[in-house]
Amino acid sequence: MMIMISLLLLASLLPHLTFTARVNVGIVNGTEAKPHSRPYMVSLQKYKKHICGGFLISDEFVLTAAHCWKGYPEILTVVVGAHDFRKSEDSYRVEVKSYISHPHYTFCSLQNDIMLLRLHEKVKLNNNVTWISLPKECEDVKMNTLCSVAGWGRLWMKGPSTDRLMEANTTTIKNKVCKCKWGSDFQASQMICAHGDGGSCIGDSGGPLVCGNTAVGVTSFVDIKGCNSPERPNVYTKISAYLPWIHQIIRNIK
């Protein structure tokens, strides 16, 4: 049986770790992003602690992974405009008005791992806060495309997280190769897998896989043996497969 787990579920299985010093790390083998170079990035927080990433797709909606929310009565807030959590002057917190998981997602499942968050108020757009474009319907990213990921997650499975946004390049892999490595857990119609020198880890769930200037995937799950494993590349929910659902939700609310 394939060994895999969503990045948020994995975090709950690890022993609680404390660190006396902050380290400049986050994404596996990543580098610190230029402050506010990814103004679409948001931090999903519970009790004011980062648990997942996400990204703005409009001034009112955030796209993230469905496994980042366990259901009511759990309450999440969204921090926009952040880079370094220790410096809050450029960021602010917004309450979530509605949690809209994909109707075919079930908790602990790997499929349909996508969720829309409707914010309680529209964000104020500026140089530090704006949304990212989505792909067109049925538009698949080509394999062997150089893309990138970003987040405030851990450096390795049991490592510390970072206060500063980190990023790394990663390359999309052929569906046939992903299927061979993941077996039936990989569904090419709704997933993308990618691997590079750096990649997503615990706490990066829900963040975007960005190719060019477009968010093509949502960070979903990794091999339980290690983040960014070449044996079982990181897997992202394919956004293009869910565009009809996304557009329908936004239209109905508007």
Q: Which residues are catalytic?
A: 67, 113, 205
Q: In this structure, what token pair is assigned to residue 37?
A: 């170079």
Residue by residue, what is the 3-state secondary structure of the chain?
CCCEEEHHHHHHHCCCCCCCCCCCCCCECCEECCCCCCCCEEEEEECCEEEEEEEECCCCEEEECHHHCCCCCCCCEEEECCCECCCCCCCEEEEEEEEEECCCCCCCCCCCCCEEEEECCCCCCECCECCCECCCCCCCCCCCCEEEEEECCECCCCCCECCECEEEEEEECCHHHHHHHHHHHCCCCCEEEEECCCECCCCCCCCEEEECCEEEEEEEEEECCCCCCCCCCEEEEEHHHHHHHHHHHHHHHC
Q: In this structure, what token pair is assigned to residue 150?
A: 């970003």
For 113, other C-beta atoms within 10 Å of its C-beta total 26
Nearest to 213 by CA among 123, 152, 131, 128: 131
